[in-house]
Amino acid sequence: MQRNLPLALKVGHLRLVAAIAEHGQVQAAAQALGLTQPAASRTLAELERMVGAPLFHRRPRGMVPTAAGEILARRGTEVLAGLTDIARDLASVAAGATGEVRIGAVTGPALGLLVPAARRLRAEAPGVRLSVEVAPSVQLVQGLDSGALDFVLARVPAGIDPSALRVGPGAHEPLRFLVRAGHPLAGRRAVPLAALAGFPWVIQGRGTPIREAVDAALRGAGVGLPPDVTTTASLMLTVALVARTDAVAAVAVQVARLVADGRGGPDAGLVTLDTAEPLDLPPWHLLTLRQRRLSAAAQRMLALVRDQIGQDRDGDPGAADPQGAGPPGNGDPGAGDP
């Protein structure tokens, strides 16, 4: 037996042995493989020389595998099945049906866009592994630059060279003010921003888009945040505090749609205020790196996200806004940076 037999074996050798073991004749095996009988006979003889032993007993009723032939036929069939699996898996990866997609988003697009896009991805390509990071824009763009994320839905942070980024579609983020249903301001129409300053607040830290927008709006109204302010980026803690106190929380419209009861009434939990002045955040965008080639799976998810952005722009998100409070939304799926 040749010492380098594993390297010398070819797929054609394995296919021929398996076919002869199945059909019992060289001629029938050759026909099944699309070979001539002389070519099949030469290949079998070559393989037997390589193995150093006969692979089949020649009997009047057909060819029966020897011990060596049985091993080669059985193991060869396993190898051929494995090669078929490899080809199928590679084709699946090339089609974006398998693989891993790593994306990031600020809170609003994560709720409004990635949830429905992920649901569609799961239906179309259940073999794709999806991971989503929800974080501030600075952290997301750092992850994009390092290769930890394939694409992000975020704002371009100050100090970042935008030339390295491919800036895709995005949306503005309207803010809503969240309170409990029994809050003194709940149910009132056209509440001035100045009136909100008389209550405790739950809000994100300084430097975040929501905090900057609210601080600027309150300064424009001639007031500022009250001394009683709880600073947190946790949505769960924000909801818990607002539900149990008279605190006011500024959240983007998608967050409000998730946690507020649009019906209002005595049985409602959280509601949004109808404020007199509209308040928006700077727009987020779909960001990718110019010099990075995305995998087929990432391209598939990217296409679904783009399509979801288009659907939201064409839809009527104001109908889904809790209580119809404040100015109608514009289809943006956002909440501020967490």
Going from the C-alpha of 22 to that of each of 19, 53, 124, 237, the distances in angstroms are 5, 20, 38, 67
Q: How far is CA 195 from each of CA 200, 205, 210, rounded to the nearest angstrom?
A: 11, 22, 18
Residue 98 has pLDDT above 80, yes or no: no
Looking at the predicted structure, is the pLDDT value of residue 336 above 50? no
Give the dihedral sign, CA 230/231/234/238: positive
The identity of residue 128, as a single letter, is V
Q: Is residue 334 scored above 80 in pLDDT?
A: no
Reduce the DSSP state of residue 224 to 3 states and report it: coil
Is residue 202 over pLDDT 50?
yes
Question: What confidence score (pLDDT) does residue 157 get?
Answer: 84
pTM for the predicted model, two decimal places: 0.63
Cα 163 to Cα 147, 150, 174, 178, 294, distances in angstroms: 17, 17, 28, 38, 18
Nearest residue to 294 (alpha-carbon basis) of 284, 283, 306, 282: 306
Percent of the chain with pLDDT over 70: 86
Residue 128 vs residues 97, 98, 275: alpha-carbon distances, Å? 6, 4, 43
Q: Which of 264, 242, 265 is nearest to 324 (CA)?
A: 264
- What is the C-alpha separation between 319 and 135, in angstroms, rounded? 28
Q: How many other β-carbons are positioned within 10 Å of the β-carbon of residue 2?
A: 12
Strand bridging mode 98-105 / 151-154? parallel
- 294 and 306 Cβ atoms separated by less than 8 Å: no
CA distance between the termini of the chain: 67
Query: Across all residues in the chain, what is the average pLDDT?
Result: 83
The span from the CA of 27 to the CA of 150, in Å, is 54
pLDDT at 38 over 90: yes
In tens, the pLDDT along 43-89 reads: 999 999 888 889 999 888 889 999 999 999 988 888 888 877 777 66
Token output for 230:
């709880």
Looking at the predicted structure, is the pLDDT value of residue 274 above 80?
yes
pLDDT grade for 319, boundaries at 50, 70 and 90: very low
Please give the residue that has the higher pLDDT: either 109 or 338.
109
pLDDT exceeds 90 at position 313: no
Percent of the chain with pLDDT over 90: 39
Q: What is residue 262's predicted lDDT score, i.e. its pLDDT?
A: 55
Q: How confident is the model at residue 238 (pLDDT cuts 50, 70, 90)?
A: very high
Q: Which residues pair with 248 in a beta bridge?
A: 201
Per-residue tokens: 229: 């302010």
- Predicted confidence at residue 333, as pLDDT, reads 31
Confidence class for position 295, pLDDT limits 50, 70, 90: confident
pLDDT at position 20: 93
State whether residue 332 is helix, strand or coil.
coil
Instruction: Pick the more confident residue, 138 or 7.
Output: 138
CA pair distance 189, 157, nearest whole angstrom:
36
* DSSP symbol at 75: H
What whole-number distance in Å separates Cα of residue 165 and Cα of residue 168?
Answer: 9
Of 79-83, 122-126, 144-148, the poorest mean pLDDT is in 79-83
Tell me which of 15-24, 63-72, 261-270, 319-328 is least confident. Answer: 319-328
